[in-house]
Each structure stands twice: as C-alpha cells, then as structure tokens.
A and B are shown apart, each in its own frame.
Chain A
C-alpha cells in the first residue's frame, strides 16, 4: 500500500513536470516556425499598404489611432506615452496612442528577432543606411510617395533636395527624417567648468597649447577632477581631430566614415595629418593623466555622473550640451558661481579659428522613422507623423500644450511664449527632458527659429543656457556634410565585410595609440601599421566604394 502511494506521488510529480515542460516547448516551437511565416508577412502587408492610396484624407483625431513604436538603439527606452503634458494632450485631443517596443539594451538582436518571428512593429526609428535598405529590399516598408501631397508638412519643411537624398534605390521615399534642416545646427564642441575656469583666472583657451597648459593646471590644483573628459567611447578624442585642420569636421576620421575627402577622392584615415596629430595630442594628454584611464570603457551613466556633479574641467563631445544643461542647472542651484560654459572650438596655433568645425550637420538630420507593412493603416500613421513634424505638433512636443508656456502664435506660426516660459525654468526643463526622447521627427528650422526669435528678446540672464550657446557658438561651428551621407555599405556585402575589418583595425589602433604608446613616434608607428593592415584587408576597395557614393550624392544634390 505504502509503496504504491509513493509511486503514484512520484508519477504525479513527473507528470506535472512534463506538463510544465510541454507548455515551454510549445512556446519554443512557435517562435521556431515563425521563421517560415515571416516570409509571408510582407506580402500580406503590401496589399493593405496599397489599399488606402486613392482614398480620402485621414483626419487625425476623428478616430482613435494606435501604433507600436520601436527605437532601434541599445540606449533607447521610449518614455510611456501620455505620462507628460505633451503626449497627454496628444492622447486626449488627437486620440493617438503609441505603444513602446523596447530594445532591451540589445537593439540588433531585437530587430532580428522581430523580423524572423514576423512581428515587426508599426514604426521603427533608426539610423539611415544598411538596416533601412535591408528592410526595404525585403518589401517590409511602406512608401510615402502617395501621401506626400495629401499631408503637406514634410514636403514643405524638408524640401525637395532633402527628400531626394532620402529616396531609396527604387526611387521611392520610405524614410521620415528627424531634425532635418536647411540651416546649420548641432551641439558638438567643448564644455568648460565655469567655477574651475574662473578660479584659475579665466586663461585663454583658444589653441591646443592653451588647452594643454590649462589641463595641466587643473590636474595640479584639483586632483579629484578629470581635467579632460572625453565621454563614452572616447568620443572627445574624435572631436579633437577637428582642431588640427581647417574646414574639417571630426566625422571624417570617425569610425562611421573612416574616409578623408581629398580633391574628388576619398583617402585613408590612417594617413590623414589631422587624425594623426589628434592622436599624438590625445596620447600626450593620456600619458600626463589628463584623460581618465577608463576613457575607452566607461559607460554613459558614468560620464553623466561626472558631469552633473562638476567633476570635470573640460568635456569634448558631439553633444556636450545634453549633460551640460542638466549639470549647469544643478550646479548653479547650489552655487551661483558654478555651472558650465562653452568655449569657441579649440584650434592648432596658426590655423584660422573661424574655419574650425568640431561638429557636422546634414540636411537629412539625424535619423529616420519608417512605417512597416505591419501597420494596419500606414496612411494614418503617416498623417500623424506629418502632423507631429508640422508647426502644431512641434509646438506641443517641444513646449507642451497651448496655455502654459506658450499662448497663440505670431504671423509666421512661431509660438508666443508666456511669462511662465522664462520664470518656471525648472518645470520647463522637466517637460523638455521628459519629451526629448519622444521627438522622433524634429523640424529643426521651425523649432530653432522659434527659439531664436524669442531668445533674442530676452535679457542675457534670462536666456536658456542651451539656446545661448547654440546661438553663440555651436551653430556657427558645425559643417555641412550632406554630401557624405549614406557612405556605409551593407554589412553582408563585400565592402561591408571590408568595412568591418578596417573598423576593427581602426578601433584597435586608435585605442592603442592613445593608451599604450609611449612616445609620439610610437603613435605614428601604430597608425602606419594600421594602414598596412587595412590595405591588406582591402581598404582601397572600400575607399573606392565610398568615393563613388560621395560622387553620386554630389550629383543628386546638384539636381
């Protein structure tokens, strides 16, 4: 009896285990077979994409619209829709709800998984280039051409030449640009800790020699401060390369481009004088302990922490204003003398400081949104994005709903800012920080002009910190690089494989040159060796490809 009951108990236990297991395996086989079904989804979607074409206008706000949104970045987490003043207003008045799809810190894997399982989000927000082309070639994207005239904002504000540059090889437009522009913008440059700077007697900070002397002084007097913060991935070292030549933005020698336009040809980055000098300089800084030792491995959060607590003296980055603005308001709250300022871009002695461009902008802006064939009503989604990029949408996402920080508009559609805009800076900054990651299709010209128009009417001490430096320095020192967009080859093409090999050689050489070289000669030797290695894996072929793409762009821009 006893033996029998023991047996049944163990059998029952085993059975229940099995049931649990089969439930798990059920899930697994579903996702496995998803690979096959994904092949069909684009076809289904295409049909529905073509359906609404000839139909009437989609009126935003008449019917509820809900779509899923995926930001294809490791760092990106979409804030919940409707939790801030702006999106709450949109949710209530335009009946639009956006459901976030998280990348979980591993964007590439996430996108691949979504493609294979046939569960694409309705909208993907990503960099232009290979990923977009891959999706387009597979027929997973909805072209916008039929909508462009019906919903006029994008066409009006972006302009024909920008849209032409965005068109895919089949001549259609699939990409909705973000922060597209026709005038310079961008924040790249040098942030300086105001308190330390003034305490050291506000010395001249113009040339690379000035900077070096200043950092030395900081190191001596403030041992717990990082003299020169280079940001995550030592981005600041890249920025420095702009100091060593005129009309040369740092993107030329950044990992994303690795090609130096010389005459009508692209040439090797390893032989570029400005790049080489910048690494010699950075290596000197590193050997003198003016750059933190974990420059290449630190996380974004570590950088942010240092900056908002004022533990840096100079910070060079592609967007130092982002942490700078937070740091400035936090630091100046505790001590009115503390905070951050920006300085005119550093240049090598002998160069014209008005021809130094630490940053770059291009007409196409930063990144793009694409609408996939998974979207039930792509026209409605486009209608929303188009409204979002238009004056009304921009006013709301940038400065909140009408009535609080702005009330009414002037003849040109620029918002009329209220008293609260300047007095309630804390609430305003909070709103802006909450919505910054929801600005998916920023309209640079409209937003910048509205801000500037207003700022120009304010006394010096009331000006927004960020806008002040943008108007005084950064916008004047960003270079137009529209002709160099889309130079990156697809990852699995022959050039893509070369690009990757060269990229690895580049990353290694750059880190070695800064961290491990013991003298100028060693830095240069590392770069010479990198050049030889890169040629071995076919760098010249890659440069040829980039030259061709560049020339294509030039002819497109001339149209």
Chain B
C-alpha cells in the first residue's frame, strides 16, 4: 500500500528543489553566513562540554577524564544551600525591576526624540545619551560611588543644600537604596544605546500614514499611540522575548562593583555573583557550574515560553 502512496507524494514535492541545490544556488550568501556559524559553533557550542563539570567532583589536575562522577550531588547542595532563596529572590527582583524600568525607558526616549523638531538638538541628545554605553562599569561605578559618597558626594550636598536632609545619607551601605541605585545607573548607562534600534524602527514607519492621520485630525499624541507604536511593535516584542530569556541574568559587573559592601549582600547577591564568588574564589568549580547550568535551563524555558506567548500575536522569534 505504501508503495503506491509514496511516489504520489514525490511528484507533488518535486517542484521545490532539494536543500543542497537550494544552498548551492545561494552559495555566495551562504558563504557570508558561514563565519557567523563557525563563531557560534566554536565559542558557544563547543565549550558546552564544560557543563559536564556539574555532574563531577571536578579536579583541576585530573580534568574531565579523571574526575569522579557524582550525579546530581551539586544540584542538591545548591538547592539546599542557605543562600539559595536569597539569591533567587534577588536575581528575580533585580531582573524584573530592570525589565520594568529599563525596558520601556529607551522606547520612551525614542518616541520623544522622534517628536523633536530641531535636528541639532536631537543629534546632541542622542550622542550624549549613548556615550555612557561605551564606559566600562569600573568607571561608571566610580562615578556612582563618588556621587553618592557621604564626604563631598554631590547628591548628598544637593539634598543638604535643598534642606531635604540634615545629615548625609550613606546610600551605598543601606540595603533599602541598593536596588534603586542599581536600576537607575543601568538605565542611565544603556538608555541611549538601546534607543537607537527603536529610532531606526520609527524611521522606517511610512510617513504617509502620519500625513493621512493628521488630515483626519489626529494630534501628535494620537499619532504616537495609533501609528508609531503599533508600527514598531514587532521590534519591541522581539526585544522583550530576548529580555525575558535573560531574566535570570540580573547583571554581574554592575552588582559586583556597586554592591561589593558585605552589608549589602542580602539584597545584592544574585546568581552570577554567587557563582563567581563560590566557584572562582573558593575553587568549587562543579558547584558553580551546577548553579550556572540551573540558570541557563530556566533561561531556555523562559525564552521558549515567551516566544510561545508572542507567537499568538504573530511576532514571535521563530
């Protein structure tokens, strides 16, 4: 029976050329993609064998072949560690805060810049706002520390001048301020750079739509909500999916540098800093790998989940 069905199928699909033929036809394009594929293979896929460490008692001298296998011991230890829930809470809270504030901020900036008439002013704002992106966190954290310092810190001096506070506040050793400082600094550093992609998307919106809308009597604000925003929605959704996939990456350098004070550890210790401290500083490689692997797995689930949700709106990644 199958013998009859098979050739029938073949005939219907014959119109489409085979995969190899299709690839051969666009060989020049494929050649351009190849370096990127090699890059991913070499730097993202090949090193993945390192996750084996999570299931071993990894010994630096014995390597992968000589270290004993211990199953899921390190995962159990991680889930039972006294720091586990604090670390998870901090990671999720800091990430959500960054997402809540840090994600819409560049979109807002892009929308506002789009409405600016003066080209010079627009360019100036753009340049100034994206410069901080190129500063390393070491420098940015230096700024933050000196601005928030109790001795000659500009923020404290300003607040005192305005008679809002009497004594300087030691912002960097009071846990209640840490998340605000972290998120604000992050937004300041990245807002300009992240807004570039939205500005580009806005530039691609057909001006005829705006013209048509204004003839119909829509004001600037109406146009923004009814034309600009819906037009750049696909871009926003793609970035949102990616951001959700990174939910457990709450940051590393910024937290390590600004939140180094042990008094802040209850609010500043996130998965990545924990892995760094335990793994690198205390030579517990297997344990750190297990914690890192856990984070990656959650990340994959979140990414797939977010993509699934987005697919319903027709703007998914894949």
Contact = CB atoms under 8 A, between A and B. Distances in A.
B2 interface: no
Contacts of A14: 31-32, 34-35
A7 B145 contact: no
A35 B64 contact: yes
Given A7-B28, A296-B262, A112 B46 contact: no
A404 to B, nearest CB: 42
Contacts of A134: 60, 283
Nearest to B285: A112
A456 B240 CA distance: 75
A140 B61 contact: yes
Contact of A516 (B59, B173, B280, B282): B173
Given A29-B46, A292-B151, A496 B34 contact: no
Interface stretch (B37-45, B92-100, B113-121, B195-203): B37-45
B34 A18 contact: yes
A29 B45 CA distance: 12
A268 interface: no
A293 B63 contact: no
A24 B57 CA distance: 31
Q: Is the interface of A mostly helix, strand, loop or mixed?
A: helix
A22 B47 CA distance: 16
A78 to B, nearest CB: 22
Contacts of A293: 149-151, 168, 170, 173
A349 interface: no
Nearest to A131: B283
Given A38-B63, A39-B63, A491-B282, A294 B263 contact: no
B39 A21 contact: yes
A293 B34 CA distance: 55
Counting from the closest, the 8 A-B pairs by CB-CB distance are A138-B61, A511-B263, A507-B262, A293-B150, A25-B42, A491-B282, A115-B60, A511-B262
Contacts of B47: 32
A112 B60 contact: yes
Interface residues of A, number: 51
A116 B53 CA distance: 13
Interface of B: 28, 31-32, 34-35, 38-39, 42-43, 46-47, 57, 59-66, 77, 82-83, 145, 149-151, 168, 170, 172-174, 260-263, 265-266, 278, 280-285, 287
Contacts of A22: 38
A21 B145 CA distance: 39
Nearest to B173: A515
A510 B66 CA distance: 41
The interface centre, meaning the residue of A7, A35, A116 with most chain B CB atoms within 10 A of its CB, is A35
B61 A25 contact: no
Given A115-B61, A293-B173, A512-B263, 20 more contacts: A10-B32, A14-B35, A21-B35, A25-B42, A36-B65, A112-B60, A116-B60, A134-B283, A140-B61, A294-B172, A296-B262, A297-B145, A491-B284, A492-B57, A492-B282, A501-B82, A501-B83, A504-B265, A515-B173, A515-B261
A508 interface: yes
Nearest to B153: A293
Q: Is the interface of B mostly helix, strand, loop or mixed?
A: helix
Contacts of B83: 501, 504
Contact of B28 (A11, A109, A115, A512): A11
Contacts of B46: 28-29, 32
Given A292-B151, A537-B82, A112 B280 contact: yes
The interface centre, meaning the residue of B31, B150, B262 with most chain A CB atoms within 10 A of its CB, is B262
A358 interface: no
B43 to A, nearest CB: 7
A536 B82 CA distance: 9
A294 B82 CA distance: 28
B64 A515 contact: no
Interface string A499-518: 01100100110111001100
A492 B261 CA distance: 25
Nearest to A41: B61
Contacts of B174: 516
A500 B38 contact: no
Contacts of B34: 14, 18
B42 A28 contact: yes
A233 to B, nearest CB: 9
Contacts of B64: 35-36
B99 to A, nearest CB: 28
A17 B35 contact: yes
Given A292-B151, A492-B283, A516-B173, A42 B61 contact: yes
Contacts of A11: 28, 31
B38 A18 contact: yes
Nearest to B263: A511
Nearest to B283: A491
Contact of A10 (B28, B82, B261, B285): B28
Contacts of B149: 293-294
23 contacts: A15-B31, A18-B35, A18-B38, A21-B38, A32-B46, A39-B61, A42-B61, A112-B280, A112-B285, A115-B60, A138-B61, A138-B62, A294-B151, A296-B173, A501-B83, A507-B262, A507-B265, A508-B262, A508-B263, A508-B265, A511-B262, A515-B170, A516-B263
B173 A500 contact: no
A297 B287 CA distance: 28
A140 B59 CA distance: 13
A11 B65 CA distance: 42
Contacts of A504: 83, 262, 265
Contacts of A511: 173, 261-263
A430 B284 CA distance: 42
B171 to A, nearest CB: 10
B261 A296 contact: yes
A108 interface: yes
A500 B278 contact: yes
Nearest to A501: B82
A508 B66 CA distance: 38
Interface in A387-404: none
A496 to B, nearest CB: 7
Contacts of B168: 293
A87 to B, nearest CB: 32
Given A25-B42, A38-B63, A294 B145 contact: yes
A36 B63 contact: yes
Nearest to B64: A35
Nearest to A499: B282
Contacts of B32: 10, 14
B187 to A, nearest CB: 23
B315 to A, nearest CB: 31
Contacts of B38: 18, 21-22, 25
